Structures are given as C-alpha cells and as structure tokens.
Structure 1
Amino acid sequence: MDISNSETTLLITLLSVLLIVWFLKSKEPLKGRLPPGPPALPILGNLFQMDVKAPHKSLIKLSEHYGPVFTIWFAGFPAVVLCGFEAVKEGLIERGHDFSGRYLFPVLKKISNGYGVAFSSGERWKQLRRFTLSTLRNFGMGKRSIEERIQEEAQFLVTAIRSKKEIPFSPNFPLRCAVSNIICSIIFGERFEYEDKTFLTMMERIAGISQALSSPSVQIYNNFPKIMDFLPGSHQRLFQNVADLRNFLNKNIQSHKESFQKDLPRDYIDCFLIKMEEEKHKPDSEFIHENLLMSTMNLFLAGTETSSTTLQWAIQILVRYPQIQEKIYQEIYEVIGSRRRPAIEDRAKMPYTDAVIHEIQRYIDLAPMGIPHMTMSNIEFRGYLIPKGTFVVPLLSTVLKATSQWETPKSFNPNHFLDENGCFKKNESFMAFSAGKRMCLGESLARMELFLFLTTLLQNFVFNSVIDHNDIDISPASSGILVTPRVYKFCAIPR
C-alpha cells in the first residue's frame, strides 16, 4: 500500500516527538537505585520481551536470569517485579504498608480515575476499605445469614441446571448469575431472576470486561494509551461495557436515593448514602458519589467474576478427573447425605473436598500477577532504593507454583493440602487471595461460596463431557489480569 507524503511526514514527526520525550525522560535523575533488569528499548521498553497473551510467563522466564527482584520497563515507566515466596511475602506482608498503594495502569486509570475501594490509595483507600469491610460484615459476610442466602441461591442454580434435562450446555452463564446474586443481595438488597433482561445484559457486560482485561489489545493499551485511544480493538469494547455498567449502577443508586430511610439501611448502597449525608459538610470527605459508584462497581465485578470463574474452572477440572469428582461425592454422601443442604460447618469434616477446592485455586492461578501495587514512599528494599509511586508486580504465580513450596507444582494434585493421615493441612504459600494489607476483602465470602455451591452441585449432579475426558484441555484460554478457562459443554446427570 502506498503512503502519501503527508502521511510519511506525520509518521516521522510522531516518532521524532516520541524519541525526544523518551530522551528527556531518560535524562531525569531517578530518585532511587532500581533493581537490575533486561535492557529496554527507547519508547517500547521491554515490550518485545513480553508475551502479551501471557505476560506472567515472560516475567517468570526473566526472573530465572535476573533473580527474585528485578525491573522491567513498560514504555516510559519502570515496574519492580517480586518473584518467589520469600520476596512476595517480604513485600506484601512484612513491608505491607510500603507496598500498599494501587498503581493505576492506563486502562485502570481511565476506568476508575483512582476512585473506589479497589483502585484507590492512601487515606482514601483506608477509609473506603474500613467502611466496606464493616458494612459487608454487617450484612452477613462470614456469618450465618449470608450462608443461608448462598444455600438458597444454590437451589436456584440446581433448578436452572436441572432444566437443561441432560442436554450438553456451558455452565458458565448460570454459575455467573448464581454467584452475582450473592453480591447483588449485599450491595443492591435484591436478587435477580436468571431470565431478567437487565440482569442478563449486565452479566454479558461483566463477561466482556473480564475477557477484555485479559486480551492482548488491553496489554498494548497500557503501553501506548494515547495512540490506542484512536484505534479499534477489544479495549474499546471494554470501555463501552464499563460505560454501560456505570449507567446501570447510577440508575440503581438514584433509585436508592429516592427510597432509602436513614434508620433502616437495606444494603451497601444505603449505608454509603447515610455516610455521605453525615459527611456532606466535610470538604475533604471521601464519601462522595464517585467513590460510591466505583466501590459498588468494584464489588459487583469482583464479587461476580472471581468466584464464578473459579467455579467454571472447578467443573472443568472435575470432569477432566472423574475419579476426583466421584471421591468428593462419596465424602458428601458420608457427611451430608443426599437430602440435607450442605452447610459451612460440614467443611471441617470434609478434608478431601476442602483440599480439592484449595488445589483448584492454586492450580488455576486466577490472578497470576496480582492486582498492581505501588510504593507509598521512597523505600529501601533488599539493597535497592525504590522511588515513591513505582509500579510493583507481586508475581503470585511464582508463589502458587513454586517448586520449593509444592511437591508437583505444575500438576493438579489435591495431596498438596492433605497430610499423611488424610487431614487437611494449610500451606502459607497459598496466596490465591493475595496477601497483606491489600488482600481480597471478600475472601471469607468467596470461600463460603466455593464450598457451598460446589458441594450442592456435586450432591445433585454428575458432570460429564461430550468428548473424552482425557481430551479436555485445562490450560488457560487467556492470561492477563485474570486467567480464563476454555469453553466446553457438559452434561449434568441427576443423581
């Protein structure tokens, strides 16, 4: 294709400006001694050394040469990578405050602008996290009331799957609806029918956001946001899905404003609105509409996608290993029986099931690079001086699959969580929910959901594949912020 003189001139001008900007930045004194790392190209950084389809694998390979702490460059900014149990533990737990900031990738900055409990830092994050944890607990997180809510939703899920009448289907959608209804009951004060059109649309939007965040287009966007803003790709669909979700949440918040009673809070939104009213005269209050909107979005997305994706993986892995699926059922039958609803107190009597759930989380490595961290001040770490505001990657994958911590790290092996007597055993390298001050605030809810949903499903169904179970590929379909499974159809045979 011929390029006109004007286009050539524009291209040369653009590259010249980028080179000048990079040159000037390279001459700025770095306020620190960053760890060593691979040589970086002008403008491009270490882009060509990264697999945009699975960036964590590239980082693991680089760590073999540069050690447990090294620096890579994303376009014009550095990232310090922490690899292995000892380095990640030191950074997230022992030095938790120093690394407690949330670094905003360009895509995260465009989505949140630093608002909300998940993507804020400093005093804003402290206040929102404290409030959110307290409110979630008040509405039952970790308590009997939310357990009963999950048990009830699990029966709706069983009914939805039974309606398939043994016809092959993908369980992804009903699993996403069931899990989402739990967080919906906490933040909106209601559940939705699986056929509700608005709910269906939001589930599609959430699925689209999850897929886009793991796409190569979004990885490239984080390197060149100003250029990618003008180009088509999955990043554009991501921003549209986020905009649609914002509209849905804003309508829900407005509805709450019109009907809430200060003395009778129904849910998370009501509690936030009450806090906004209490602090409306404080000019520096963090309880403002944008933080309510983004915190609600954070909870809705995370509360829907992480547990439902884990359950999708669980079904796929148990179909791949039918002997494990059957062994769980035998434990369910012995402890719970075929009629009583599974309860969270049963978990202590079901070490094999508990071990399998933990191993599923370890093996799938759902968020291999964690969520981006950031240094809160200039800090000295392992002989290096890392400047305030530096992007930090806690490579959780190197903890969950470390050869020094697990007997067979690359294989699915429930014995990782069982002792010689068949009792459940903990492992401090289990960081599926991350670790330290920014550990997942919904961990107790997620653990309850995984146990109750999975045991209820296996109590009622045998899941079989339409192809030979040995042909099911349990490697990821995509790996970005989240690792997503391949799509298969299964038959759910009633027991």
Structure 2
Amino acid sequence: MAIWWEVVLLIILILWLILHFLKQLWESRLYPPGPLRLPFIGNLWWFGFKFSADTLAKLAKQYGNIFTIWIGHIPMVILSGFQTVKEGPIKQSEAFAERPLTPFLKAALKERGILLSNGHTWKQQRRFGQVTMRRLGLGKKGLEHQIEEVAQELVQIFAQAKGQPLDPMLPITNSACNVICTLAFGHRFSLEDKEFLKLTEALESSLNFAGTFFHVLYEIFPFVMKHLPGPHQKALLSIETVLSFGKKEVERHKEHHSLHEPRDFIDFYLLQMEKNKDVPDSTFDDENLSQAIFDLFLAGTDTTSGTLQWALLLMASHPDIQDKVRKEIEDVFGSSQIIHYQDRKKLPYTTAVIHEVMRSKYVFLFGAPRQTTEDVNMLGYFIPKGTLVIPDLRSVLLDPKEWETPDEFNPHHFLDKDGHFVEKEAFLPFGAGLRACVGEQLAWIEIFIFFTSLLRSFTFRPPEGVKELNQEPVVGLTTHPHPYKLCAIPTSDP
C-alpha cells in the first residue's frame, strides 16, 4: 500500500512539473525569443550559473539583437547593438525610465536615493543631484582643484615605489574614493585612516556580491534566502556599513552646519530639507540623503578606479601609444605647467586614448538595468509593461557596425585623418536617455586629471621577466583587470 501511494505521488509530481513547464512556455510567448526556459532555474543552465564578458554577445548571435533570458521566474529582455539601444532607451526614453525593484535591491536599498528609486522620489532626487553637481563646481576651479591635489598624492604614492613593481589597484581605488569623500563630505581622509579603510572594504564587498551565485539565489528565492546565513548577509551588512558612514557625516554636518554657505553635497541637501520641511510630498529626508551618499560612492568609486587600472595596464602593454601620449603632453605643456580639464581640447590624442580605454575595456558587464513603464513595441518585438530590460552597452561599444576594429585597442577610433578628436554617437559608457549617469562630468574630470598626471610623471612598464600582462577581465558587476603589477619609472630617470 505504501509503495502504491509513493507511485501516485510521483505521478502527481511529474504531471505538476509538466503543467508548470507548459505554463512557462505559454507565458514566454509574450517576450522576445531566447534559450529554452527550465522550471525554477530559467536559463541559468545555459551559462552554467555564471556570466562571462561575452555571454550576451553569444546569445545575440544566436537569437538576434532583442532576446529574453530568464533568471528563475524573472524575464530579462536584452537590447544588443547600438541601433537597438538607440531605438529603445534613447528614442523611447520615457518608456524605459524605471529601475527594476528586485528582491535584493528592495532589501538592501529600500527604493531610495538617486540610482535605484522610481517615480516621484527619483524625479526629485535626480533633479537635485544634477543641480547640486553643477553648483559644486564641476569643471570649475573648486572641486577640480581638489581632484588635482588627490592626483598629486597618488603620484607621490607611485613615486615611493622608486620604479620597483607595484600593484596599482589599492592606491587608485582609495584615491577615487577620496574624491567622492571630497564631493559628499567636503574633506578627504588619510589613506591610512581606519574608518576610511572600513568604508573602502565595505564598498568592495558590496560590489563583489553583485551577479554572484548567491545573489542570483536571493533574487529567485528571497523568502528563503533572507533567513539563511551566507555571502548575501555579508553584502547586506557591507551596504549598511556604507550607509552608516554617511549618516555619521550627516550628523557632523548638522552639528556644525553652514547652510548659509553650503560647501558640499550634504550641506546642499540639508539646505534643501530645510526649504522643503513644510512641503507635503517632499522626499528630502535623512534616509534619502544617506542613500544618495551611498549612490555617489557606488557609481563613482569602482567605475573610475577600474577605468584607471585598465588605462595603466594598456599603457604598459602598448608602449608606442604611451610614448605618443607623453610626447603630446610635453609638447603642449612642458614639464611644469598644470594641466586642467579644459585643456583636454589641446590634447586630442590623449583624449582619444582615454575614450578608447573606456570603449575597449568597458568597466560594466552590461548597462544598468531598466524597467518598462508601459507596453513597448520596437523593431518588431513586444515588451510588456514592467519588464526588466538590459541595454547591453558593452555590445554598443564593441559593435562591428560602429567601430572599425572593435576588438582592438585603437585610439584612431576617435581621430580623423588629420589627428583631430571626433565624438562618436555610439560611445555610450555612461548610458543614455533619462537614466544616463548623473556623475558623468565628475568622472571625466577625474579620469582626465589622474591619467595625465600619472602619464607625465612616469613611464609604465611590465616588471622584468613579464612578457605580457593579462587583459582578460575579472567578471562581476564591474569588469576589472586580473591583479597585476607594473613598474612606474619616473620620467626624470634616464
């Protein structure tokens, strides 16, 4: 009798799985094509539960420039190639204006701040962010001067190695983080400060968790995962550490406020809170302020650091290009004149090299996810309202229809036949449309000043005995180089 019941239960289970699978196939018909979706795991089987830098490119070759992959029960529509992204988030910007509210993001960030909020909150916070960035003097003397000071501190750290092999990752990351501290808090930290080191470690831990196996599990089974120990709990704790760091700075600003003469992001935000204290639908409060500070660190530290790490690796790997950059800087500015961001127009080759670093070694695995605010019809496909959409900016920056040698590091992608710098429509490392990066201008100033300061001070070479530096990326939410060392030879040396 017991065996008979076991057989019946097994048959019922099999029938349920079949019905569940057929239901999934019926639901999938609403979305663009993609790999076969399996129960519970979706398409995770296709890429072995792990993305690589070329995963989406392989799928685009098989299924076209608009396709769907399923992370468990969550559909993700991928837009691949420049023309596809142009037809979506650029031309139909309003329809792709939301961020998806996945279970982990809800648990970690509570739908606040600038980057990951939606609706009224997002509109108020983003508008404030844009205005405040301008007020803080991006492109003018104030903040740019402080970035120059951080860049010179980084030059001194490199100089201390006296041409011996060094790992540039930590000093570059700490310097990029200190620029955000200047923007948000109005002051920098000593690179040995224990609280500052805790902040950088927490940021790294938060970013390293994104896209991992446990992150995927949390998104698929949030009701189970939130009660279990594991890396997801460490990531949530790391995010809270960064938020707490910001909250402490906010309290210090409240104690010694200078609302009559705001000097940094927190000052401007507290002033905005005061102005809106009687506005019923105001979203300016302590929680959104803490989240906005986290957003500044999230968007402005790892991305800038990764770009500069790639830049130095590529310079050491392409000494001919490195020599041309240094010669252009020397010909225009000599050895002593300070280079400002506005001087980039005098350095077309250097500017082209920086653009090409960002194109060929894009620091994100793909573009920041969007969510459709309405049903969308584009290029013959239907995308339902509320769908998670990934504009694959990596595919845009490597699109063979837009770039002559997409898989090569080639600064001439941004130069005309006379050596003048030229803008390219398909150059979209900061995104496009309504959700383009608020901090784009800050990133440009920072990368330009850091890069030119380092290149005029040092010649970068691989360590003795190293024939080739590894250019394959380490894949997470961002794509960094594998750990490497190089020799920074002072340019004054023979």
The TM-score normalised by the length of structure 2 is 0.91
In structure 2, the residue matched to 1:368 is 365
Q: What residue is the counterpart of 1:184 in the other structure?
A: 181
Q: CA contact under 8 A between 2:87 and 2:378: conserved in structure 1?
A: no
Q: In structure 2, do the counterparts of structure 1 residues 468 and 406 end up closer, same or farther at CA, with 3 Å as the change threshold?
A: farther
| Structure 2 counterpart of 1:344, one-letter code | Y
C-alpha separation between the residues in 1 aligned to 2:232 and 2:218?
Answer: 7
SS in 1 for 2:373: coil
Q: How far apart are 1:231 and its partner, in Å?
A: 5.1
In structure 1, C-alpha distance between the alignment counterparts of 2:218 and 2:294, rounded to whole Å: 22
CA 1:42–1:27 in 2, change beyond 3 Å: closer, same or farther?
A: closer
Q: How does 1:265-414 map to 2 (within 5 A)?
A: 265-414=262-411
Moved more, 462-471 or 122-131: 462-471
Q: Which amino acid in 2 is paired with 1:35?
A: P
Determine whether 1:449 maps to 2:469. no
**3-state SS of 2:312 partner:** helix
CA separation of 1:374 and 1:466: change in aligned 2, threshold 3 A:
same
2:161 is matched by which residue type in structure 1?
K
Contact 1:151 1:341 in 2 (8 A): no
For 1:56 and 1:26, the matched residues in 2 are separated by: 32
Partner of 1:461: 458
Paired letter, 1:148: H
Q: Which amino acid aligns with 1:483?
A: T
Q: Tell me, yes or no, if the aligned pair for 1:215 and 1:234 is still in contact at 8 Å.
A: no
2:434, 2:364 → 1: CA distance? Answer: 17
Alignment gaps of 5+ in structure 1? 1-8
CA contact (8 A) 1:189 1:267 kept: yes
1:489 counterpart residue number: 485
Paired AA for residue 73 in structure 2: G
Structure 2 residue corresponding to 1:107, chosen from 93, 104, 114: 104
Given candidates 420, 423, 428, the residue that maps to 2:425 is: 428
Q: Shift in Å at residue 55 of structure 1?
A: 4.9
Paired letter, 2:259 = K
| SS, match of residue 377 in structure 2 | strand
> Which whole-Å deviations, capped at 9, do the CAs of 1:391-418 have from their partners, x for residues lacking one?
0011111111011111111111111111
In percent, how many aligned pairs have the same letter? Answer: 40
Shift of 1:238: 1.9
Q: Provide the aligned C-alpha RMSD in A.
A: 2.7
Quick one: distance in 1 between partners of 2:487 and 2:144? Answer: 28
Counterpart of 1:225 in structure 2 is: 222
State whether structure 2 residue 63 is matched by structure 1 residue 66: yes
Distance 1:214 1:341, change over 3 A: farther
State the alpha-carbon separation in 2 of the partners of residues 127 and 60 from structure 1: 36
> 1:49, CA displacement in angstroms?
1.2
1:147 aligned counterpart, secondary structure: helix
Q: Which residue of 2 aligns with 1:200?
A: 197
Q: In structure 1, what residue type is equivalent to 2:484?
A: Y
1:51 positional shift: 4.8
Q: Helix, strand or coil for the counterpart of 1:314? A: helix
Shift of 1:232: 5.2
Mapped to 1, the partners of 2:472 and 2:25 lie a distance apart of 43
Q: From the superposition, tell whether residues 381 and 433 of structure 1 become closer, same or farther in structure 2 (CA, over 3 Å).
A: same
Equivalent residues of 1:370, 1:481 under 8 A apart? no
Note the C-alpha offset of 1:70: 1.6
Listed one character per residue, the Cα deviations across residues 5-59 of structure 1 (whole Å, up to 9, x for unaligned) are xxxx9xx99x97xx78x94994899699322222211111111113544355222
Matched to 2:374, the amino acid is S
Distance 1:468 1:93, change over 3 A: farther
When structure 1 is superposed on structure 2, of 53-62 and 74-83 the one drifting more is 53-62
Cα deviation code 1:349-399 (max 9, x no counterpart): 211111111110001121232111000122333344322211001111111
How many correspondences in the alignment? 482
Residues 364/209 of structure 1: CA separation in 2 closer, same or farther (3 Å cut): same
Q: TM-score of the superposition, structure 1-length normalised? A: 0.91
**Structure 2 residue identity aligned to 1:135:** T
8 Å CA contact 1:171–1:312 kept in 2: the answer is: yes
Q: What are the superposed Cα offsets for residues 124-159 of structure 1, whole Å, 9 maximum, x if unpaired?
A: 111111101101110112323222222222111112
Deviation at 1:233, TM superposition (A): 4.6
Query: Within 1, Cα distance between the matches of 2:323 and 2:337?
Result: 19
The one-letter amino acid paired with 2:164 is I
